[in-house]
Amino acid sequence: MSDWIIKVENLGKRYRLHHQQERRKYVALRDVISEKIMSLLPKRPSAASKDSPALPAGAETVVKRMPKNEDFWALKNVSFEIKQGEVVGIIGRNGAGKSTLLKVLSQITEPSEGSVRMRGRVASLLEVGTGFHPELTGRENIFLNGGILGMTRAEIRSRFDEIVAFAEVEKFLDTPVKRYSSGMYVRLAFAVAAHLEPEILIVDEVLAVGDAEFQKKCLGKMSEVANGGRTVLFVSHNLASLTALCSRGIVLNKGRVQAVGQLGYAIESYLNSGEKDGGRYVGEPNGKPFQIMAVEIYSLSQSGVHVSGQPLRIRVTIRCDRSNKQGCLSMQVTNHLNTPVLHFRAYDQGVFYGAKAGTSILECELPECWLNIGPHRLTLYLSDPPGAGGYETLTGVCPFEVDVRHAAAWFGWRPEACCYITNERWNNA
């Protein structure tokens, strides 16, 4: 007998997309009623004939139509096996099919083709409040969820105190969960799913709702679950959390399996997949004597990600209609709040643009760039020496993502906690 606990073969999930046929801005209820009534009336002879007067010049006579229905495959030909006791990370960009896969594995939605076989009880936490009844209290929902998972009341009672302590909702235990905050929802839902000892635990990115300390607590609990011989499937966009928890990875790309293997291999496949969709800017001529024509962060991975601590390299191409021996270029890296987190100036290093008319190319390299997790952009300034005239300002160009792969303590490095990370060293004085 094989040692797999989850076996997926040629799995596919298809959704039927319905399109409005005529290109209208919107369809009002009166339009629907009117069209229905008109369809029941006897049809009149068409006014359009060869004897009909010509329409005025420029009149629109053709209505562009879209197909009424279209098939969209969220998953296609997905196959893999997971062994008992493995902790597997599901990796992929938005829209890759990760959440759809977890819903199929959790038996929330049925596959359109292929098969899924699982051995054991499954507990899943896919979104805030999954499986909770809003009118019931926290206490009642613990017993409800336990019953859904196949636990007896005696089994639930034996773990009840541990669940409540983990979720930290003692004061609100007899309050309807519809009055819980999103954080309280997640804490209680995760506590129930993790403590009722399912053979398979499935967790989506929902843990991002919790605070840093709670996320640390959840990672510890999932490690404990895995060490107990149970299986964990974990979806996260944060590579550091995957590195801290998972041993293997499955990479999805546009609904298909791109890679399956050890986590390091899976992460490299994810980072180097697809076309680079960030870190670039191309300008249009604007008639100014000096203009930034192109900016590229050429050190990014193929998926447009900068891994914190790795080199950051930026190339700027400037068009010069005339010479300017002291042309100054400066740059800022801004975070998700548009707050500058790095500022560097070429002229501080004795590097200028415009030594002669034509094209100047300036490159900047940060050997170790420890930006924090999250989205970032560049702001660039072209000017004469400081205090003199400016020629161009580009704001919010070259968007790119930053991720952390090297540290298990990623949960302390949230964007609101700090702007810049450094690889510091400590010792006792």
Domains of the chain, start order = 71-271 (3.40.50.300), 280-412 (2.70.50.60)
Question: Among 338, 340, 321, 329, which residue's Cα sits nearest to residue 381?
Answer: 329
Q: For residue 83, what are the contacts with CB-CB under 8 A and spacing of at least 6?
A: 3, 4, 5, 231
Bridge partners of 91? 251
Which pTM value belongs to this model?
0.64
CA 196, CA 150: separation in Å to the nearest integer?
Answer: 10
* pLDDT at residue 342, as a whole number: 92
Residue type, 271: L
236 neighbors 403 (Cβ within 8 angstroms): no
Q: Among 53-62, 258-267, 413-422, name the most confident range.
A: 258-267
The predicted-structure confidence for 127-177, as pLDDT tens digits, reads as follows: 666 678 889 999 999 998 888 777 788 888 998 999 999 888 889 999 998
- Could you write out the DSSP letters of every residue in 298-344? TTS-TTSEEETTS-EEEEEEEEESS--TTBEEEEEEE-TTS-EEEEE
Q: Would you put residue 92 in left (φ > 0), alpha (ψ -120 to 50) or beta?
A: left
Q: What is the mean pLDDT of residues 405-414?
A: 55
**Helix, strand, coil shares, percent, the chain, to 5:** 25, 35, 40
How much is the pLDDT for 70?
A: 77
DSSP state of 368: S
The answer to whether the Cα torsion of 157, 163, 164, 165 is positive or negative is positive
Note the pLDDT of residue 130: 64
User: So what's the pLDDT on residue 252?
Assistant: 92
User: What pLDDT digit, counting tens, does each position of 296-319 carry?
Assistant: 999 998 778 898 889 999 999 999
